[in-house]
Structure 1
Amino acid sequence: MELIGYARVSTVGQDNGLEIQKQLLNEAGCKRIFFEKVTGANIVKRSELKEAIQFLDKGDTLIVTKIDRLARSIIDLHNIIKELSAKGVNVRFLKENIEFQAGGNNNSLQTLLFNILGSFAQFERDIIVERTGEGRERAKKQGKHMGRPSKDRKAIEKALKLYAERESNGMSVNDISKITGVPRSSIYAELKKIQVND
């Protein structure tokens, strides 16, 4: 009977969040922790979760810090719990302070609470996705550029500077494009903007 942990963050940049989850799982007594950086919605690529499920034996307990770290939809959550329960594996969620016993030895209130919390986790995610989408649409309508601005902008500015100094540096647009990594079409488009503004 072992305590096995599972931790997940949605993006590569969330290393701190992953470390916090690992620390909580270690404090909970986990002998081994499976972890990955992948969105909860992308079930197909969650290889570490699949490996954890295969690793777990009857009588073991899978410990997760929060419900939404294990699954992001109520259907996905129930499928995972059902699969683990069939193997005789218990599931414990630290934040929600719920443990789901294998074999259905759970009272009706606990089951109701689990379903409500799982639904809230999915609802919260859907709201975030919806708001993000609305924010993008608003920004596009206002003519704001979405994406990675700073690095590209610096390269364009460097290209325009080299273009302005081409009499002294003897560079062609092709040369400038190769040095800065800015496509010729982008250089010409930026030059056109400057001419229009002038």
Structure 2
Amino acid sequence: MPIRQLFPTLFYEADLGDATLLAELDESCRALAQDDTAGRRWSKAHGYRGYTSYASLNDLPLRDPVFADLKKALDRHVAAFAKEAGFDLGGRKLKLDSLWVNVMKPGGTHSGHIHPHSVVSGTVYVAVPEGSGALKLEDPRLPMLMAAPPRDGTFVYAEPRAGSLFLWESWLRHEVMTSAAKAERISVSFNYRW
């Protein structure tokens, strides 16, 4: 009797492939972490170990040309992911909805979450010192498994390196594992909507 796998969960992994863009992103992210007083204040108030522009700046591609260059690269990757995922977009394209910087200090983590009101989410890793921690992805069926015995693959750990680009559907629960690195991990996260 044949067994079929139904409803696959896709995870896109690529390399940004642009060392110059990566170096410019590193410089811009570090500058934002120094200059964005509102972002630093929000990060401190919400227990974020480091800095994020998540709640303070919503115009990075307009504010800094390096983020506009990143957006162009992301648009291509997100279009490829959407095609592979079989999205019926009715001739429309997914559009960047939000993009934010994360400068995570050693010991930093981000608990399990999803990205509501988005279709595709992702992260570009700019600086990834050894021990930074993986992206932990959760089997989306987990809440429905009820009395099922444990199984392999309930959690998948994606190990980034500088230049890694990860994409997933925004409903996929994920978390950032605790960083044991001795230096800051820098990333840029984003959401695309329809």
Q: Which has the higher helix share?
A: 1
Fold shared, TM-score > 0.5 on shorter chain: no
Q: Please tell me whether Structure 1 or Structure 2 has the larger radius of gyration of its CA atoms.
A: 1
Normalised to the residue count of structure 1, the TM-score between the two structures is: 0.26
1 or 2, which has the higher strand percentage? 2
- The TM-score, its normalising length taken from structure 2, stands at 0.26
